[in-house]
Structure 1
Amino acid sequence: MENINIHSKMFQFRVLLAVFAIIIAIVGFTQAHDSYVRTYAQATLSLLLSTVMGTYAIERLKEKKWLPFSAYALVSLLNILTFIQIIFPNINF
């Protein structure tokens, strides 16, 4: 396992996004099924996940590890498409 530097800016950014994701997930799960708040909470959660995976993809690109980079980039792209599908439900992919 690699050495985790808890004082790095990227680690602190990811922890901040994880805290926001937990809060948004709690808000999303406590709302009614047809609520706009739940819909936008799901979209925001998808966007946060895409951002976190994108930061991992960029790190793997800098390290020239192509397989993890392509996997993280693919998951990030799929989450962006999920975000678009939640916000604009009439668009079909």
Structure 2
Amino acid sequence: MEELENLRLKISEITFEILRLVKKRLELAREIGKIKSLKGIPIRNENAEMRILYQVQKVCEDLEIYPELGEELTKLLIKYSVKIQEENE
């Protein structure tokens, strides 16, 4: 049972690290939003979004993880990046 708890603790630690990285990503998205606002650039950039989704698919293949997981996660990250940029317009 101790082994199971240790593994769960490691999963929790990794989850918290992922959240810290998401926070950093959102901070960068906020900065990008400020620049876009100053320059009159639209928040959404479908070419950039498609490019990152394509890159994520390749990384998922290299890491041997489910590509749909990478795609869903990336779309969620994009959604909240857009949201934070819209809030700061």
Q: Specify if TM > 0.5.
A: no
Q: Which has the larger radius of gyration?
A: 2
Q: TM-score category by the smaller chain?
A: 0.3 to 0.5
Q: Which has the higher contact order (CA 8 A, sep 6+)?
A: 2
TM-score (norm 2): 0.36
Relative to its length, the structure with more helix (as a share) is 2
